[in-house]
Amino acid sequence: MPQPSLFPTDSEPQPPSAPWVTAHCDGGARGNPGPAGYGAVLTDADGNTLAELSVFLGHRTNNFAEYSGLLGVLQYALDHGHKNLRVVSDSELMVKQIQGLYKVKSPDLLPLWQQARQLIAQLDAFQISHALRHKNKAADQLANQAMDRGLLP
């Protein structure tokens, strides 16, 4: 199976048979590090919600939570047979690391980056883009709900 391109060009054929799924994901940590969680909303090509994810991660960093959100949507897509995935995140660092524009210098993030690359390789097509926080509100709200659950007694 050919490796999916992170940077499709006009000359690259796109898989015609499978529709694209879009995932908006966000992660955060209160205190950084602190109570952390991620949230994600996955939608089909018509904009219908396929899933909402909201996961508490324990005491972690913001970047760990951002990567966990990406890993969560990648795993969901693969588990449910969605082979064409677009990801939108407000983490410029993570997006640029996945795109290969920034090196992963943190020893804590390197295994997460490697795991993401392995999951991406199982897709037919993958795109990731950065969006400002206000364009990622639903995922942000789900991430905050996850962090709130971690603060409950």
The predicted-structure confidence for 14-69, as pLDDT tens digits, reads as follows 444 689 999 999 999 999 999 999 999 999 999 999 999 999 999 999 999 999 99
- Tokens linked to 92: 């410029």
Task: Name the class of domain 21-151.
Answer: alpha beta
Nearest to 63 by CA among 88, 39, 93: 93
Tokens of 79: 């588990």
pLDDT of residue 132: 86
Amino acid at 111: P
pLDDT score recorded for residue 7:
46
User: pTM, whole model, 2 decimals?
Assistant: 0.88
Contacts of 43 (CB under 8 A, 6+ apart): 21, 22, 23, 49, 50
The one-character DSSP state at 48 is: -
Instruction: Give the domain ranges of the chain.
Output: 21-151
Residue 133 pLDDT level (bands cut at 50, 70, 90) = confident
Q: Which tokens is 116 given? A: 């993401």
Question: Could you give the CA distance from residue 109 to residue 130 in angstroms, rounded to a whole number?
Answer: 18
